[in-house]
Amino acid sequence: MVSFLRPEIQMAQEKAHTESDLINGCIRNKRVFQEAMYRKYFDSMMRMCLRYTTDTEIAMTVCNDGFLKVFKKINTFASKGSLEGWIRRIVYHALSDYFKREAKYIQFMVFEDHEDQQNPEIVPGLYADDLMSLIDKIPEMSARVFRLYAIEGYNHREIGERLGMSDNTSKWHLSNARKKLKELIELQNKEYVHRKG
């Protein structure tokens, strides 16, 4: 597990390191750069993990597993997109792996966040990859908001800034995406029951 630096050292180092410094330092497996990258992106990755579980210990474990994968794969980052987005995808896959191991399939996609227990019944064997194909069947803007919120961990203010919409419009698109996805999952449930019958 990555150790923590004293706040004054952290601040000095974060000011001194560019994104390129962090990437190259992590490629060279230098602990100081790993710590700086961990500190820079930890809060947003942890927020994303906490979207999928109320258990802080599980969220911390998954987040740390994700960062270990980041450090192992950092040499594959092609610098063609956002470093933060790349890290989010890896941490997201760590989440996906955790819930698959726990045999919870795609409930972790949090249709109503973890506070709401009204998730639809899930088709046996339906995994996150299947859900991704369902997302492609809903209206494009609602799908974009859903991906940013439920998969990449952005909040509505951040989504609004990225997509040029108000917080309330982002919330509407998220609600619409969840409604459409529930309808598609219910349809798949009926087809599954029909096939089994």
Inside any domain, residue 1: no
Give me the tens of pLDDT residue by residue for the chain, a chain 197 residues long.
343 344 544 444 445 678 888 889 999 999 999 999 999 999 989 988 887 777 888 889 999 999 999 999 999 987 777 888 889 889 988 887 787 666 454 554 544 454 444 444 444 455 555 666 788 889 999 999 988 887 676 788 888 998 999 999 999 999 899 888 888 887 877 776 667 66
16/99 same-domain check: yes
Task: Give residue 161's domain range.
Answer: 128-196
d(CA 149, CA 169): 13
31/97 same-domain check: yes
Inside any domain, residue 64: yes
DSSP state of 175: H
Domain harbouring 179, CATH code: 1.10.10.10
158/72 same-domain check: no
**0.85 exceeded by pTM:** no
Residue from 82, 15, 2, 80 nearest 46 by CA: 2
Write the Ramachandran bin of 133: left for phi over 0, alpha for psi from -120 to 50, otherwise beta: alpha
Q: Which pair of structure tokens corresponds to residue 31? A: 């602990």
140/100 same-domain check: no
